[in-house]
Structure 1
Amino acid sequence: MTAAAPEPVATAAPSRRLRIAQPRSLQSRQLWAASLGLVAFLALAGYALDRAFQSTAQSGLRERLHSYALAYANSDFARDGSVIPPWDPPDPRFRRPGSGLYAQIVMQQGNDWESDSAQGPRLPKGAMLAPGRQVFEGPLPLTQINGTPGQVYRFGYGLALSDGAEQAHEIPYTVYILEDSTALGRQVAAFRAALWRYLGGAGVVLLLLQMLVLRWSLRPLRDVIDELKRVQSGAAAGMGQAHPRELEPLTESINAFIQSERENLERQRNTLADLAHSLKTPLAVLRTRLDSGTGEAELRGEVDTQLRRMNDLVSYQLARAARSGHQLFAAPIEIEPQAEQIVVGLEKVYAAKGVLCEFEIAPEARFHGETGDLQELLGNLLENAFKWAKSRVLLTVAEGPQAAGRRAGLLIVVEDDGPGIADDRIAFVLQRGVRGDERVQGHGIGLSIVQDILKSYRGQLHVGRSRELGGARFEAELPAGL
């Protein structure tokens, strides 16, 4: 019996989710964010303007009803306490039943009065107000003349009529003016329609303008992408220089990376060429010895000598090839611990000379690169100084020149109290391609390694005479970093 095959595990859904979760382009992100912000702003602005218009319209309605109330406040009263309203009402609508504008006068005795317009609708009844008190209410419910429900705004004004000098003969009454909310609703609706129409049009115009501004502001990024594509295809040697200030660190880093890769390739080619050229001579010597019929003992000695020479050449060239340039964004390295480790070993090698090495290392100085490069740089300079010094070697490390927005450079100076180097010999000592047996002892292969390291870091090596100790002075200067 064969076992049933396991059911396949569905993996399409997670991959689909991953594809959906992928971020949009910068232009899409900015457009969506700005559009949402614009819509939110227009919505809040529209709401604020709508509330402000409603408040203004209600305030205007209150003032209008107040003026009507003042007109009815001058009403007369009969002996029986009934109200005698003004002959000419402040608005003709007070005479037309169900017109939407109503007047009420509430008396303490209960003989209230209503305008002709109140005949038919069922209006809300108001209570007596204290003299001088004003209220504005609404919207309040009412029943229209045709029986349909409606709403009104009501303004009340408490008054008192005195028929003598004593307050006991005052006649308190309250004037209420009511107006249908339909007129105010029509005003608000008309304002809202115009408001949202204009805000909508302004929003569309602003969105189009925003798209144009985004395309214009992101154009430098598209130019950088186009240049990078040309560099990848080989149509351009590097990134251009005409870029906005914000993109300059990016383009400079890309150019530095391109230059570093080209220098690495060139260094590898030079290393292979130097290795091949260096091995030609020992191989040629061995071939000549073999062809000449040299004796076995002499041939063994020659083979041993040439093998040691080839081994030294291969080790040296491999060491150079292993240093494939510095890292562009390496972590800073403290210099004093590395220097102490190197000096301890050199003091053991040159213990017979009793050389004293002094440090003057700035606490803030840091080496931004590979630890091996720092060790090679300090090791070769200090070893040369120990070889030629009589009794003193001075290592000085300080921060080099600084540039705005970039890390500080580095200055490493090694001095000794030995015989020094004549000025006319400096160019020869630093000449590239000079092998160890062609140089003065102590300033051969080590200086070539130092120069290679400094070249990979865009640095320079200066050789002169030490003013303080009187011997040679080697100054390695590393520029400010990216």
Structure 2
Amino acid sequence: MARGTDARPSGAGGRVRFAGWRPRSLRARQMLGAGLGLIAFLALAGYALDRAFVATAEENLRQRLKAYALKYTEGIEFARNGALVPPYDDPDPRFDMPDSGLYAQVVMPEGAPWGSNSTLGPDLPPSSMLGPLEESFDGPLPYRRADYGEGLTYRYGLGIVYPQSERDEEYPYTVYIFENAQALNSQIAVFRRALWVYLGSAGVLLVLLQVLVLRWSLRPLGRVVEELKRVQRGEAQGMSERHPIELEPLTDSINAFIDSERENLERQRNTLADLAHSLKTPLAVLRTQLDSGGGEQALREELDAQLKRMNNLVTYQLARAASSGHKLFAAPVAIEPHAEEIVRGLEKVYAAKGVLCEFEIDPSARFHGEPGDLLELLGNLLENAFKWAHSRVLLTVRPGQQQANRRAGLLLSVEDDGPGIAEEDVARILQRGVRGDERVQGHGIGLSTVQDVVRDYRGELSVGRSQELGGAHFQVTLPPGL
């Protein structure tokens, strides 16, 4: 098998598809496509110009032969007995030279046709009578020259009626002019040689120009490759912002992917650090218990308690890490179905309060991320609202800020008609590092999970008082994504 050929079976019939001939280089692909397009264009242009020149040359030949025929009709007369009186002067000296390549012939209804001196020797194609003022032009027609060689000729015919006023008679006749096709073929051959020389030269220049344009147009891709190599070597933190508009989505996606990977790495480090820090205390307690030399029963009880504590710590850290992560290019998630599912469960839990939850959800609003993250946001915010509301909860969702070539952001807010949150407590409950087991005074919601998810999506969480319901107002703002 030739090198570079990828043979793979395709279909039940055992057919083999060869796909290895496709060039892997973008430069080679563009050069191949441009080259084939240029060859096709030059071929079609050459063919069109050739056909146009041949048609023009044949039309010029027809007009010239017609002029000769009209000139002959001016000098032709008929005697009283109906005999043809040939013209005294020929319109071109070649008509008087035997086998010169230019021939004149007059055909009459009866008798042998008259011919110019140039018709002596060659055997011209037979000609017939034409009607009055009827024209014909055909060729190239085969004929035999005086030296018995084969040749080709064009023929023009014009039907004429000569009036005899004295005897009130008419004498119809037809003038035929023949010209050897060699002169026209020579003109066409000269034109074709010049045409393909010029087109070939233009093709070479266009190929060179295409190479220059291709190098210039692919230079931004080369810069992208160089920047990626610098990022891989650790010499740059990400892609620069100076790129063509067509490459901006690519470079922005690469930067977002790099940032996401760095955030994931940092999150994993923080999770391991938090887990290690959290396990220090129960391990220290176990070490102290062992060193104290207490009884076996006390050691067993302490071991059981600390193992449960460590298990809870590991479970919590893993759950936190899972809820913090999200896919960079996640598919859009419809919000209303998840909100209805959560509300149905909360209505059963808080059935005694009879809380009514209202939706104001824009049908075009979408959450671009993990469904689990959306459930964390809606679940915590709605559960808190149900817990503290007197009778009403309002969920509002609408598309946020939009930018060209980016998916829209998201605005999500939950309001209730409960007691609300004191203004002096808002800054404290939104402080970073609030643990999941901490509770906001007077409101009963742990905001660490919500804040972590919002922070992972580069969003903002604000807490205030609802202008419509009078209770707490939690608003999540997510920026536009890629």
Query: TM-score by structure 2 length?
Result: 0.90
Q: How far has the Cα of 1:336 moved from its partner?
A: 1.9
Kindly indicate whether the alpha-carbon contact (under 8 Å) linking 1:102 and 1:177 is maintained by their aligned counterparts in 2: yes
Q: C-alpha deviations, 1:156-214, integer Å up to 9, x for none? A: 111111111675x1111111111000000000101111111101111111111112112
Distance, in Å, in 2 between the alignment partners of 1:479 and 1:428 is 24
Kindly indicate whether the alpha-carbon contact (under 8 Å) linking 2:355 and 2:391 is maintained by their aligned counterparts in 1: yes
Q: C-alpha deviations, 1:447-466, integer Å up to 9, x for none? A: 11111111221211111111
Q: Point out the more displaced range, 185-194 or 391-400.
A: 391-400
Q: How far has the Cα of 1:402 moved from its partner?
A: 1.8
In the alignment, structure 1 residue 256 sits paired with structure 2 residue 261 = no
Q: How far has the Cα of 1:302 moved from its partner?
A: 6.6
Kindly indicate whether the alpha-carbon contact (under 8 Å) linking 1:436 and 1:445 is maintained by their aligned counterparts in 2: no
Kindly indicate whether the alpha-carbon contact (under 8 Å) linking 1:260 and 1:325 is maintained by their aligned counterparts in 2: no
Q: How many residues align?
A: 470
Cα 1:33–1:437 change in 2 (3 A) is closer
Q: How far has the Cα of 1:145 moved from its partner?
A: 1.0
3-state DSSP of counterpart to 1:413: strand
Q: How does 1:195-210 map to 2 (within 5 A)?
A: 195-210=195-210
Q: How does 1:315-394 map to 2 (within 5 A)?
A: 315-323=315-323, 325-394=325-394
In the alignment, structure 1 residue 456 sits paired with structure 2 residue 469 = no
Distance, in Å, in 1 between the alignment partners of 2:17 and 2:309 is 63
Kindly indicate whether the alpha-carbon contact (under 8 Å) linking 2:356 and 2:392 is maintained by their aligned counterparts in 1: yes
Kindly indicate whether the alpha-carbon contact (under 8 Å) linking 1:435 and 1:445 is maintained by their aligned counterparts in 2: no
The answer for the alignment partner of 2:176 in structure 1 is 176
The answer for the alignment partner of 1:101 in structure 2 is 102
Q: C-alpha deviations, 1:249-285, integer Å up to 9, x for none? A: 1111111111000000001111111222233344445
Kindly indicate whether the alpha-carbon contact (under 8 Å) linking 2:249 and 2:405 is maintained by their aligned counterparts in 1: no
Q: How does 1:156-235 map to 2 (within 5 A)?
A: 156-164=157-165, 169-235=169-235
Q: C-alpha deviations, 1:64-103, integer Å up to 9, x for none? A: 1111111111212334443332222111111110100001
Kindly indicate whether the alpha-carbon contact (under 8 Å) linking 2:324 and 2:453 is maintained by their aligned counterparts in 1: no
Distance, in Å, in 1 between the alignment partners of 2:445 and 2:414 is 17
Kindly indicate whether the alpha-carbon contact (under 8 Å) linking 2:438 and 2:446 is maintained by their aligned counterparts in 1: no
Q: Point out the more displaced range, 336-345 or 208-217.
A: 336-345
Q: How does 1:228-307 map to 2 (within 5 A)?
A: 228-285=228-285, 287=287
3-state DSSP of counterpart to 1:218: helix
Q: C-alpha deviations, 1:434-455, integer Å up to 9, x for none? A: 3356542586883111111112
The answer for the alignment partner of 2:398 in structure 1 is 398
The answer for the alignment partner of 1:133 in structure 2 is 134
Distance, in Å, in 1 between the alignment partners of 2:369 and 2:45 is 56
Kindly indicate whether the alpha-carbon contact (under 8 Å) linking 2:95 and 2:118 is maintained by their aligned counterparts in 1: yes
Q: How far has the Cα of 1:385 moved from its partner?
A: 2.2
Q: Point out the more displaced range, 387-396 or 292-301.
A: 292-301
Kindly indicate whether the alpha-carbon contact (under 8 Å) linking 1:429 and 1:444 is maintained by their aligned counterparts in 2: no
Distance, in Å, in 2 between the alignment partners of 1:422 and 1:413 is 18
The answer for the alignment partner of 1:476 in structure 2 is 476
Distance, in Å, in 2 between the alignment partners of 1:307 and 1:417 is 43
The answer for the alignment partner of 1:7 in structure 2 is none
Cα 1:354–1:311 change in 2 (3 A) is farther
Q: C-alpha deviations, 1:4-36, integer Å up to 9, x for none? A: xxxxxxxx9847976724543222222111211
Q: How far has the Cα of 1:296 moved from its partner?
A: 8.4
Cα 1:311–1:466 change in 2 (3 A) is farther
Kindly indicate whether the alpha-carbon contact (under 8 Å) linking 1:436 and 1:444 is maintained by their aligned counterparts in 2: no
3-state DSSP of counterpart to 2:364: coil
Distance, in Å, in 1 between the alignment partners of 2:471 and 2:463 is 11
Give the partner amino acid of 1:177.
I
Kindly indicate whether the alpha-carbon contact (under 8 Å) linking 2:122 and 2:146 is maintained by their aligned counterparts in 1: yes
Cα 1:166–1:212 change in 2 (3 A) is farther
Cα 1:51–1:96 change in 2 (3 A) is same
Q: How far has the Cα of 1:243 moved from its partner?
A: 0.8
Q: C-alpha deviations, 1:208-237, integer Å up to 9, x for none? A: 111211221122122212212222222221
Q: How far has the Cα of 1:147 moved from its partner?
A: 0.5
Q: How far has the Cα of 1:303 moved from its partner?
A: 6.3
The answer for the alignment partner of 2:420 in structure 1 is 420
Give the partner amino acid of 1:89.
D
Q: Point out the more displaced range, 74-83 or 32-41.
A: 74-83
Cα 1:113–1:425 change in 2 (3 A) is same
Q: How does 1:32-111 map to 2 (within 5 A)?
A: 32-74=32-74, 75-111=76-112
Structure 1's unaligned 5+ residue stretches are 1-11
Kindly indicate whether the alpha-carbon contact (under 8 Å) linking 2:421 and 2:443 is maintained by their aligned counterparts in 1: no
Give the partner amino acid of 2:78.
F
The answer for the alignment partner of 2:153 in structure 1 is 152
Q: How far has the Cα of 1:353 moved from its partner?
A: 4.1
Distance, in Å, in 2 between the alignment partners of 1:264 and 1:13 is 38
Distance, in Å, in 1 between the alignment partners of 2:320 and 2:279 is 16
Kindly indicate whether the alpha-carbon contact (under 8 Å) linking 1:105 and 1:114 is maintained by their aligned counterparts in 2: yes
Structure 2's unaligned 5+ residue stretches are 9-15
Query: TM-score by structure 1 length?
Result: 0.90
Q: Point out the more displaced range, 74-83 or 50-59.
A: 74-83
Give the partner amino acid of 1:375.
L
